[in-house]
């Protein structure tokens, strides 16, 4: 035996437990074949036949791990691997397997199959835990067939009622409840009322930061709060030729200044503050008419609710100042609000500690997108693990992730779960 071999075998005795990255990748590719699109993406809308096929496949895998599988009235699926302490609450992980109409292979699916890979790894290594370890599949996270988004986890967390969720209809008039029953996933377990010790969700970042900074793991500390606004600027239509400049009531001039004000206020709250004007309708939208009316939207986000409130105040002040200066009317109306989430400090720490122990380059970050974890965080200690995705692109068939990053994220998940669930001495 060479000295290097001795060192290697010594390492294998002391090195931390690892998932099987190849097996995780193969499972992801097999699930992605259900609803596969010609361009390499996935179309698996919630509660369709392909969703049932995907659920059947993953439920079969979960059952093969020896876990008990329960389904609740919202179609959420819970697989539980028992712990040694029968009174302990479950340490849960998971995500969703529904996709956007032209979605990718990894959004949601990764979090569920990383959880499955954790269960498989614990079994392979004969590791017992004090607390049970579970994997959840949440129904209709994407919200593309049925609104609200994050429907299953929202009902679980009591954000809205099961009745409300079941009564929602898709574009063809089919209700959530009918669709759920048709695919055979309207379960008998109560929605919510399930004590969780903790919830961890692994997910692709869906943004460019980790890739740009060459980091493998994002330790997610919370999610941005959000406010949506509709805004209408009203002046007066007038002929572009005869109307002198000083006599104009040009709604687009007001809207343009407002766009600049929106950017300026977001930059004052950078790097965490974000603001977007994504829609603008100019009326009458004619080359030789001074625009008399402009309607537009504003989307503002910040991880801290008090900063978001400050941004709101600045936005309103800007609309009033610009309207007065240009003698326009401005109607600014907030149409939606989601408060910021701060994840649980001990769960964040479990992710951070696992990442450091495994030696992965990482950074702390907040999620800019919605996730099931954001609703689960309202009822249980929660945090998330992000891995980079190519060019930060998701909700797109070209969504792509490097296998070694998926493996790294699953290893972090494994050790965060183990830290929380307590590795039982007698087990290994
Ligand atoms: Zn997702």
DSSP states of 329-396:
EEEEEEEEEE--EE--HHHHHHHHHHHHHHT--EEEEEESS--HHHHHTTTS-EEEEEE--GGG--SS
Query: How far is the C-alpha of 385 from the C-alpha of 416, rounded, in Å?
Result: 10
Instruction: Give the distance (Å) from ligand 1 centre to CA of residue 164.
Output: 22
Token duo for residue 134: 């579970």
Instruction: Give the distance (Å) from ligand 1 centre to CA of residue 366.
Output: 15
pLDDT tens, position by position, 21-52: 999 999 999 999 999 999 999 999 999 999 99
Is 50 exceeded by the pLDDT of residue 6?
no
Confidence of residue 14 (pLDDT cuts 50, 70, 90): low
Instruction: Give the distance (Å) from ligand 1 centre to CA of residue 269.
Output: 27
| Cβ count near 373 (within 10 Å) | 31
Angle at 177 between CA 176 and CA 180, to 5 degrees: 85
Confidence of residue 395 (pLDDT cuts 50, 70, 90): confident
Instruction: Give the distance (Å) from ligand 1 centre to CA of residue 296.
Output: 28
Instruction: State the greatest distance between any 2 C-alpha atoms of the chain, in Å, as a whole number.
Output: 95
pLDDT at position 427, please?
45
Token duo for residue 180: 């759920």
Decide if 319 contacts 332 (C-beta within 8 A): yes
Is 60 exceeded by the pLDDT of residue 358?
yes
Query: How far is the C-alpha of 384 from the C-alpha of 369, rounded, in Å?
Result: 12
Query: How far is the C-alpha of 173 from the C-alpha of 177, rounded, in Å?
Result: 12
Instruction: Give the distance (Å) from ligand 1 centre to CA of residue 204.
Output: 8
Radius of gyration in angstroms for the set of CA atoms belonging to the chain, rounded to a whole number: 25
Can you name the residues that pair with 280 across neighbouring β-strands? 296
pLDDT at position 426, please?
53
The CA distances from residue 262 to 233, 282, 308, 322, 332, in Å, are 15, 18, 13, 12, 13
Instruction: Give the distance (Å) from ligand 1 centre to CA of residue 395.
Output: 9
Kindly give, in sequence order, each residue whose CB lies less than 8 Å from that of residue 73, ignoring residues fewer than 6 positions away. 162, 186, 187, 188, 189, 190, 191
Instruction: Give the distance (Å) from ligand 1 centre to CA of residue 259.
Output: 30
Instruction: Give the distance (Å) from ligand 1 centre to CA of residue 328.
Output: 42
Instruction: Give the distance (Å) from ligand 1 centre to CA of residue 203.
Output: 7
Instruction: Give the distance (Å) from ligand 1 centre to CA of residue 207.
Output: 12
Confidence of residue 425 (pLDDT cuts 50, 70, 90): low
Nearest partner of 34 among 56, 60, 2, judged by Cα: 56
pLDDT tens, position by position, 361-392: 999 999 998 899 999 999 999 999 999 999 99
pLDDT tens, position by position, 80-107: 999 999 899 999 999 999 999 999 999 9
Instruction: Give the distance (Å) from ligand 1 centre to CA of residue 314.
Output: 32
């Amino acid at each position: 035996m060479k000295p290097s071999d001795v060192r290697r075998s010594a390492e294998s005795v002391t090195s931390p437990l690892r998932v099987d990255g190849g097996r995780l990748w193969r499972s992801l590719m097999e699930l992605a074949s259900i609803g596969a699109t010609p361009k390499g993406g996935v179309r698996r809308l919630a509660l369709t036949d392909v969703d049932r096929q995907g659920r059947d496949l993953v439920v079969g895998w979960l059952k093969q791990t020896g876990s008990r599988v329960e389904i609740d009235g919202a179609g959420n699926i819970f697989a539980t691997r028992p712990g040694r302490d029968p009174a302990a609450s479950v340490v849960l992980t998971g995500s969703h397997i529904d996709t956007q109409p032209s979605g990718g292979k990894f959004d949601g699916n990764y979090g569920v199959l990383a959880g499955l890979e954790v269960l498989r790894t614990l079994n392979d290594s004969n590791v017992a835990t004090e607390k049970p370890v579970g994997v959840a599949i949440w129904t209709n996270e994407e919200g593309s067939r049925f609104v609200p988004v994050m429907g299953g986890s929202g009902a679980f967390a009591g954000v809205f009622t099961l009745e409300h969720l079941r009564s929602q209809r898709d574009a063809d008039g089919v209700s959530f409840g009918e669709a759920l029953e048709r695919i055979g996933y309207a379960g008998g377990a109560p929605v919510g009322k399930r004590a969780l010790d903790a919830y961890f969700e692994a997910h692709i970042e869906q943004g460019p930061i980790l890739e740009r900074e060459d980091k493998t793991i994002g330790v997610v500390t919370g999610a941005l709060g959000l406010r949506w606004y509709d805004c209408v600027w009203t002046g007066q239509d007038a002929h572009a030729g005869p109307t002198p400049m000083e006599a104009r009531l040009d709604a687009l001039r007001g809207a343009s200044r407002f766009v600049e004000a929106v950017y300026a206020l977001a930059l004052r709250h950078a790097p965490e503050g974000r603001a977007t004007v994504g829609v603008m309708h100019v009326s009458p939208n004619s080359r030789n008419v001074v625009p008399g009316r402009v309607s537009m939207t504003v989307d503002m986000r910040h991880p801290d609710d008090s900063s978001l409130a400050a941004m709101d105040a600045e936005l309103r002040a800007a609309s009033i100042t610009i309207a007065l200066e240009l003698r326009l009317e401005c109607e600014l109306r907030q149409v939606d609000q989601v408060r910021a989430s701060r994840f649980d400090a001990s769960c964040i720490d479990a992710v951070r500690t696992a990442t450091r122990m495994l030696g992965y380059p990482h950074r702390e970050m907040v999620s800019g997108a919605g996730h099931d974890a954001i609703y689960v965080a309202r009822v249980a200690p929660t945090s998330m693990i992000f891995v980079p995705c190519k060019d930060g692109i998701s909700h797109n068939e070209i969504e792509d992730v490097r296998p070694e990053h998926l493996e790294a994220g699953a290893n972090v998940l494994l050790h965060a779960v183990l830290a929380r669930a307590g590795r039982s001495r007698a087990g290994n």
